[in-house]
Chain A
Amino acid sequence: MSNATAAAATSPSADAAQSPLARLGAAFVGRLVIIIPYLWLLFFFLIPFIIVFKISLSQTAIAMPPYTPVLDFSGGISGFFDQFKQLSIDNYTWLTEDALYFNAYVTSVIIAAISTLLTLLVGYPIAYGMSRAPATIRPTLLMLVILPFWTSFLIRVYAWIGILKPEGLLNQLLLATGVISQPLIILNTYTAIFIGIVYSYLPFMVLPLYSSLEKMDYSLIEAAKDLGCPPTSAFWKITFPLSLPGVIAGCLLVFIPAVGEFVIPDLLGGSQTLMIGKTLWNEFFANRDWPVSSAVAVILLLLLIVPIMLFQQAQARAQEQGK
C-alpha cells in the first residue's frame, strides 16, 4: 500500500521533470528550422558584405589582392587592433568629391525607374491576357514567358546587337518596307538599354502580375459593371487596386537588378552611357581600385535596401490593419 502511494506520488513529479525537457527539445528543433535560413544569410550575405565593407574602408596597395589586408594577425593582438585605426572613410569622401559617381547613381536609378515603368506597361497587358485566357492554355502561355530563360542571358543580349545595329534586322525590315529611308540609330543609345532591360526582365514582371491577376474573381468585375461602372473604370477601380501586390513585387524584381545592371548597358548602351554597374566594373577591373569600388557597392546596396525596407514596413502595417 505504501509502495503504491509512493509510486503514485513520484510518477507525476517524474512526468513534470521530463516534460519541460521534452518541450525544450521540441523548441530547439523548432528553432533549428528557423536557424537554417539565417545561417544561409549569415554565410552568403552578411559575412561577404562585411568583407566588402572592410575593403571599402581600406587603402589601395600595389599587392595581391590590391588593398591592405582585411584581417592581419601577424602583428599580434595590438597589431590587429592597430589595423582598425588605419581604417578610414576616405573612399566614401572620395565618392562625394568626384561628380562621376553621383551622376552614375542618379542615371542608374533614373534608367532603372524608366525601364521598370516600361516593363510594367508591356508586362501588364501580357499578364492580364494570360489570366483571362482559357484555363487549358494558361500553362502553355506561362511556359512561353519562361522560355527565354532556356538560352543564356548573355547570348540573348548579344542577339539584340544584331537586331538593333544600323545595318541590323530591324533597320533592314523598316527600310525594305519603306517605313524609314534612313537607318535608325538605336544601338549605343539609352533607347537600346531600355529595350534590353524591358526584354530581359519582362518575365520577372509578368509572373508576379499574372499570379495576382489570376487569383482575382471575375465576378468582381461583373459586380462593378452591374453597379453602373463601365469596363475601363472597372479596371482602374477594381482590377488594378487588387493587382497592386503583384505590381509592387514585379516592379521591385525589375528595378533592383536593373539599377546595378552591367551587361545590358555595356553591350547595348555603348561607351558613353554612365551606369553604376559599369562604374563598379571599371573601378574593379580597369582601375584595380578595390576599396573605392567596394565603397560604390556598399552605397548601391544602401540605396536599394532603403526602398525595400520602406515597402516592407508599409506592407506589414497594411497587414496589421487587415488589408
Chain B
Amino acid sequence: MKSLGSIRRDFAPWNDPNAKPYIQFDNVTKKFGDFTAVNNLSLTIFEREFFALLGASGCGKSTLLRMLAGFEEPTAGRILLDGQDLRGIPPYHRPVNMMFQSYALFPHMTVENNIAFGLKQDGMPKPEIAARVAEMLKLVKLEQFAKRKPHQLSGGQRQRVALARSVAKRPKVLLLDEPLGALDKKLREETQFELMDLQQKLGLTFVVVTHDQEEAMTMADRIAILDKGEVMQVATPPEVYEAPASRFVAHFVGNVNMFEGKVAERTAQTTRIAGATGAQIVVENAGDAAAGADIVFAIRPEKIRISSRKPADAVNALEGEVYDIAYLGDMTVYHVRLDDGQMVRASTMNAARVTEDPLSWNDRAWVSFRSDAGVVLTR
C-alpha cells in the first residue's frame, strides 16, 4: 500500500463524512479599521484534534485564535464550538483556555496560585482545587516549585506553569499562541513531544498558532496554512509537504525547486512538461492540468539525485554544473546550475561516512528524479 509520508496515529475524522465538526469558522471576516486580518475564512476542526495554524506574521493566525478565545469578535461570519454560536459570549464564559505567547503568568502569585486561579473562579471546593493543582504540577513535573513566584523560574519552567494553568480547568479546547516561541532550540524539540503526549493523555482539542513549520509538522494532526487572512490549504503534514495545493504552500513549507512550464503532452499514464527554459520533464501525477496549460513543476531537494555521470535508467535527467555545496553533517545540499540556466537544489543524506562519487565545485553533474517525485501545480 502506498501512502504519503508517514502516519503518526490512526485518527482522521476529516475523512469521515459523518464526523461532527467541533470548531467551525463560517465565512469569518475580521477587520481592524481598513486592515482585513481575516478574510471570509471557513475552517473546521474536530474533537481531540491537534490543529496548527501556520503562517507568517500578520497572516491572521493570531486573530483567529483571539476570536476563538473571545478577545475579538468577528466583523462578519460566525464561530461555532460544539454546535454553539460563540458570538457575544465573553472570554470568561467560554469553555476554552489559552496559553499565551508571553505566558502571562501573574507575577504576584506563586506557581500554585497561578494554576489554581481559574479553578477558584469556578468556585471549585478547596480540597478539589488542591488536588487538581497537585495533579497539574505533577503533569508538568514542577512539584518542588509550587511555592515559587514566576520570576524565580527559568523560561522552560514558566512555559510549563503556563501550560498547567491553561489545562487545569479541563477546557473543551486549548488554544496555544506560539507556545514554544520563547524557548531555545533543544528545549523546544523536547517540549514539542511533551505537548503531544499531554494532548493524548488529556484527550483535549488543541489549536496551536505558530510560524515555525517544523513545530507544526511535528505536532499537528492537520495544518492550516494561512496567508493574508485566507486559508491556502488545510491538510495533514505529509499532504502539505508532498502534495502542496499551490505555489505558495510549496514555497512556504520546506525547500522546493520550481520549474515554470507548459503541459506539452498528456497520455493516460504520463504527462510531458516543457520547461520554460527548455528542460523536458515527464511526470505521472499531473492532476487536472490540461494540455497547453501554464503550470509549475515543484520538486523537493531530497527527491533529486545528483551524480557525476548520467544515470542509465532515469526518466528525468538534466545536466549542469555544481555551483555550491553546503555540508550539514547529516546531509549535503548541492546547488546545481543547469545548462539552461535554472538553479536546482538537491540534497543527499550522508548515509555513509565516505562518498564513492565525490562532487566538487564546478564539476559537471547530472540531476535526476523519478516521474512521481514532484507535483504539478496549476495555482
- Which of A227, A237, A238, A242 has a CB less than 8 Å from the CB of B165? A227
Cβ of B122 under 8 Å from chain A: yes
Contact with B along A194-228 (1 / 0, CB 8 A): 00000000000000000000000101101111111
The 9 A-B residue pairs with the shortest CB-CB distance, nearest first, are A227-B118, A228-B121, A223-B104, A219-B104, A225-B91, A225-B92, A228-B92, A226-B98, A241-B108
Task: Find the residue from B71, B92, B97, B152 having the highest chain A CB count within 10 A.
Answer: B92
Q: CB within 8 Å of A: which of B61-77?
A: 69-71
- Once the chains are docked, how many angstroms separate the CA of A229 from the CA of B120? 9
Cβ of A322 under 8 Å from chain B: yes
Q: Do B149 and A228 have beta carbons less than 8 Å apart?
A: no
The interface residues of chain A, by DSSP majority, are classed as helix
Cβ of B100 under 8 Å from chain A: yes
Q: Do B91 and A226 have beta carbons less than 8 Å apart?
A: yes
Q: Do B117 and A227 have beta carbons less than 8 Å apart?
A: yes
Task: Find the residue from B93, B105, B106, B169 having the highest chain A CB count within 10 A.
Answer: B106
Q: Do B152 and A226 have beta carbons less than 8 Å apart?
A: no
Q: Do B149 and A226 have beta carbons less than 8 Å apart?
A: no
- Once the chains are docked, how many angstroms separate the CA of A321 from the CA of B98? 30
- Which of B106, B149, B169 has a CB less than 8 Å from the CB of A223? B106
Q: CB within 8 Å of A: which of B193-247?
A: none
- What band does the interface of chain B fall in when counting residues whose beta carbon is under 8 Å from A? 20 to 34
- Once the chains are docked, how many angstroms separate the CA of A233 from the CA of B121? 9
Q: Do B104 and A222 have beta carbons less than 8 Å apart?
A: yes
Contact with B along A294-308 (1 / 0, CB 8 A): 000000000000000
Point out the residues of chain B lying under 8 angstroms from A219, CB to CB: 100, 102, 104
- What band does the interface of chain A fall in when counting residues whose beta carbon is under 8 Å from B? 10 to 19
Point out the residues of chain A lying under 8 angstroms from B152, CB to CB: 322
Point out the residues of chain B lying under 8 angstroms from A224, CB to CB: 106, 117
- Once the chains are docked, how many angstroms separate the CA of A233 from the CA of B108? 16
Cβ of B31 under 8 Å from chain A: no
Known: A222-B71, A224-B117. A230 touches B104 (CB 8 A): no
Nearest A-chain residue to B108, judged by Cβ: A241
Cβ of A85 under 8 Å from chain B: no
Q: Do B97 and A323 have beta carbons less than 8 Å apart?
A: no
Q: Do B69 and A226 have beta carbons less than 8 Å apart?
A: yes
Nearest B-chain residue to A229, judged by Cβ: B121
Q: Do A222 and B100 have beta carbons less than 8 Å apart?
A: yes
Point out the residues of chain B lying under 8 angstroms from A241, CB to CB: 108
Cβ of B107 under 8 Å from chain A: yes
Q: Do B149 and A322 have beta carbons less than 8 Å apart?
A: yes
Cβ of B254 under 8 Å from chain A: no
Cβ of B20 under 8 Å from chain A: no
Q: Do A227 and B169 have beta carbons less than 8 Å apart?
A: yes
Q: Do B92 and A229 have beta carbons less than 8 Å apart?
A: yes
Q: Give 18 A-B pairs besides A220-B106, A238-B106, A242-B107 with Cβ atoms closer than 8 angstroms.
A: A217-B102, A220-B104, A222-B69, A222-B91, A222-B100, A223-B106, A225-B90, A225-B91, A225-B92, A226-B91, A227-B92, A227-B117, A228-B118, A228-B122, A229-B117, A233-B121, A242-B108, A322-B151
- Once the chains are docked, how many angstroms separate the CA of A226 from the CA of B105? 12
Nearest A-chain residue to B148, judged by Cβ: A322
- Once the chains are docked, how many angstroms separate the CA of A322 from the CA of B148? 9
- Once the chains are docked, how many angstroms separate the CA of A224 from the CA of B90? 12
- Once the chains are docked, how many angstroms separate the CA of A143 from the CA of B229? 40
- Which of B106, B108, B169 has a CB less than 8 Å from the CB of A228? B169
Q: Can you name 20 A-B pairs with beta carbons within 8 Å?
A: A217-B104, A219-B104, A222-B69, A222-B91, A222-B104, A223-B105, A225-B70, A226-B70, A226-B92, A226-B98, A227-B117, A227-B118, A227-B165, A228-B93, A229-B121, A237-B117, A238-B106, A242-B107, A322-B149, A322-B151
- Once the chains are docked, how many angstroms separate the CA of A142 from the CA of B152? 34
Task: Find the residue from A222, A228, A230, A241 having the highest chain B CB count within 10 A.
Answer: A228
Nearest B-chain residue to A242, judged by Cβ: B108
Task: Find the residue from B105, B117, B165, B166 having the highest chain A CB count within 10 A.
Answer: B117
Contact with A along B75-118 (1 / 0, CB 8 A): 00000000000000011110011101010111110000000011
Task: Find the residue from B104, B106, B122 having the highest chain A CB count within 10 A.
Answer: B104
A216 to chain B, nearest CB (A): 9
B98 to chain A, nearest CB (A): 5
Point out the residues of chain A lying under 8 angstroms from B98, CB to CB: 222-223, 226
A16 to chain B, nearest CB (A): 42
- Once the chains are docked, how many angstroms separate the CA of A225 from the CA of B166? 12
Nearest B-chain residue to A222, judged by Cβ: B71
Contact with A along B119-163 (1 / 0, CB 8 A): 001100000000000000000000000000101100000000000
